Structure 1
């Protein structure tokens, strides 16, 4: 998934870029609101992280414009914590905010939470080769047959299938499926991936989950 980060502070811009990239997101950077609007003309991101205090066009104005033009979710970065500033951000159309200075892990928590909400609202049906994954009914269908997967396996499959050919890190998958407070080891993920592969082998041989050594997994639909 692609995230647009807008901040006139190059240190913050690079800090957010590093942590989002490590979490498996593609990042586009803009130093001000005008650059951000130029970028979305050709490529609309899945989410924008916007600093409030920027010269020329502040974060509130940029948020309104982003929502009007592309209707993408917005997370505001602000040095202010007063209630009226939070209210102003939400009235502008933002989905959440993080007060500076912030912990990078908290930023990732909030990014993932926003994206989960939008995914549930938008991508209820996912196509992967001959498979249709219904996130509303939690069913996987192949042809006229319908299958019910264990919940964790279903969530893993739907996340991987929603981003075909994109490598998702092990950390991201653990956070998205088991939660941020999961204290188990990565062997749990390995076991669930193996079970998914065994099921896919029987249902759709051209839908495979590949291991990217040292990084994570990706789902591919191969030519028959």
Structure 2
């Protein structure tokens, strides 16, 4: 899942970006309200973590402008603990509210809760042949065998599974999984695919992850298993 943090305090932003990244999220960061609103309106985010005190535009202005065009889930952050500030944030369309200082685990739980609500219309269980993927539990099994995947390997598998039978280019994969525009000469995708394939396909098992030369990769069951 892809998150946007709009926070001008570098220490807080770095802490959240690192912590959420370790939990498998792809995270973008904006240090002011103007840049944050631009990213929120042009990017495809599952949730936004939005500070109320920002340079350029404050968090309430960002939220109001965002709500005029999108319903992306938003968690407001603020150092204030006044009831009227919380009411203003919620009244402007915030989905949740946290007062600084807060526990990272509490923020993580709230992010998980609002992204579940935001994706309620999407399937949380995906089946591709004998491969079963539980997007909420972040777990994948094949014929009862649990796949011991890293956070990025699971994100890669989930990206392919959500668009099963569709070819994903290396560019799409890097933007979806790493949220970085890698140099086209890098082999990061090939390395990640190789590692995922080694865990996904044991000897004797049907191939599910296919390379389409010159185009990208696709997850699907095929009649003809030749690469």
TM-score normalised to structure 1 length: 0.62
Structure 1: 5+ residue runs without aligned partners?
A: 132-153, 160-175, 179-188, 201-208
The answer to whether structure 1 residue 33 and structure 2 residue 33 are counterparts is yes
Instruction: Determine the structure 1 residue equivalent to 2:103.
Output: 103
Q: Distance in 1 between matches of 2:60 and 2:77?
A: 11
Instruction: Determine the structure 1 residue equivalent to 2:209.
Output: 222
| Preserved CA contact (<8 Å) 2:50 2:77 | yes
For residues 146-171 of structure 1, give each alpha carbon's deviation from its aligned partner in whole angstroms, at most 9, with x where no partner exists: xxxxxxxx8xx341xxxxxxxxxxxx
4+ long deviations beyond 3 Å: 124-131, 209-221
Q: What SS does the corresponding residue of 2:49 show, helix, strand or coil?
A: strand
Instruction: Determine the structure 2 residue equivalent to 1:168.
Output: none
Instruction: Determine the structure 2 residue equivalent to 1:204.
Output: none
For residues 95-118 of structure 1, give each alpha carbon's deviation from its aligned partner in whole angstroms, at most 9, with x where no partner exists: 001110111111101111111111
For residues 14-41 of structure 1, give each alpha carbon's deviation from its aligned partner in whole angstroms, at most 9, with x where no partner exists: 1111111011100000011111122235
CA RMSD of aligned residues (A): 3.1
Instruction: Determine the structure 2 residue equivalent to 1:94.
Output: 94
The answer to whether structure 1 residue 123 and structure 2 residue 122 are counterparts is yes
Q: What SS does the corresponding residue of 1:20 show, helix, strand or coil?
A: helix
Q: Distance in 1 between matches of 2:31 and 2:87?
A: 25
Give, in angstroms, the shift of residue 177 of structure 1.
Answer: 4.0
Q: What SS does the corresponding residue of 1:212 show, helix, strand or coil?
A: coil
Report how many residues are paired.
161
Q: Distance in 1 between matches of 2:13 and 2:22?
A: 14
Q: Distance in 2 between matches of 1:65 and 1:9?
A: 22
Greater share of residues in helix:
1
Q: What SS does the corresponding residue of 2:143 show, helix, strand or coil?
A: helix
Instruction: Determine the structure 2 residue equivalent to 1:53.
Output: 53
